[in-house]
Amino acid sequence: MRAKFEQLCREFQNSICSAIEEVDGEATFLTDAWVRPGGGGGISRVLSNGRVFEKAGVNLSVVYGSMPQEALRAATERGVDRAKGLEPGARVPFFACGLSSVMHPKNPHQPTLHFNYRYFETDGGVWWFGGGTDITPSYLDEDDMKLFHGTLKEVCDSHDPEYYPRFKKWADEYFFIKHRGETRGLGGIFFDDQNDKDPEEHYAFARDCLAAVTKAYVPILAKHDNEPFTAAQKDWQQVRRGRYVEFNLVLDRGVRFGLTTAGRVESILMSLPETARWEYNTHPEPGTPEGEIMDAFMNPREWV
């Protein structure tokens, strides 16, 4: 499964980057291959200052070695003990492969997208899959959300009718910014520690989710391409990006795992936007477009 999942990630890194370059029409991805001193490495591909995108990154990582037990706990769902049986303080031999991406458009009417699909195993024979795809708009377009969530639901339903409601709820809970009392965006799907079926079935689900990324996202980008916006709308987008930064640096499990395993900082922090804004005590007025989406951030909805 190690080699098979790595090959899958390599193929989708290439195809998704090609699709995003076509959408942007001007900028191209720079490729940065890197080696992890403790074992493994990866390929970071980043597009900057394009026609559509301020910044877009698609990062492949294939890392192995050993890590502290606290790092393993940071990488898994709360309450899941993947280090059971090890002596206290013993390091955990591991392998992890994943494809992760964040795309930040310039236009406030075009949402940010994030996805991450990963396979993890320890030398003790424990393995699991995790991942998800989620969207972070600055302004609410309900038709966009129906398309996005509907595409993910179609993939989920083709594997297990319980997946979408369970993984959608998981995303709403995982991407909740506790200190703000609001979600980072408008969700999608999120799952972790999945090993209750044959590994080939979990692999097939991750494959189909990766194949759905551009189907769920590119039509939304195209719909809002060149849509005019004001300076005030751009400021609001920057405020929402500040929330994105807060979640990623304070709460995101993948960032914590990367930093506690001496990962490559440039790749770990690839998800951050180039620009963000923090205004003191900002509260949009009810009835405004900003107030409308704030209500959706504070009260997660069902879109399909």
Candidates 209, 89, 68; CA nearest to 148 is: 209
DSSP letter assigned to residue 106: S
Contact 297, 79 (CB under 8 A): no
How far is it, in rounded angstroms, from Cα 95 to Cα 63? 6
How far apart (Å, rounded) are the C-alpha atoms in residues 20 and 58? 10
In angstroms, the CA 101 to CA 270 distance is 8
Token output for 201? 């079935």
Which helix (H) or strand (E) segment holds residue 34: the answer is strand 30-35
Q: Is 276 exposed, middle or buried (0-12, 13-18, 19+ CB in 10 A)?
A: middle
114 is catalytic: yes
d(C-alpha 175, C-alpha 134), whole Å:
9
Q: Using CA of residue 46, residue 48, residue 51, residue 54, what is the dihedral sign? A: positive
Residues shown for the chain: 304
Contact of 112 with 293, CB cutoff 8 Å: no
Distance CA 170, CA 176 (A): 10
Which residue among 104, 109, 114, 202 is the active-site one? 114
Catalogue the active-site residues. 114
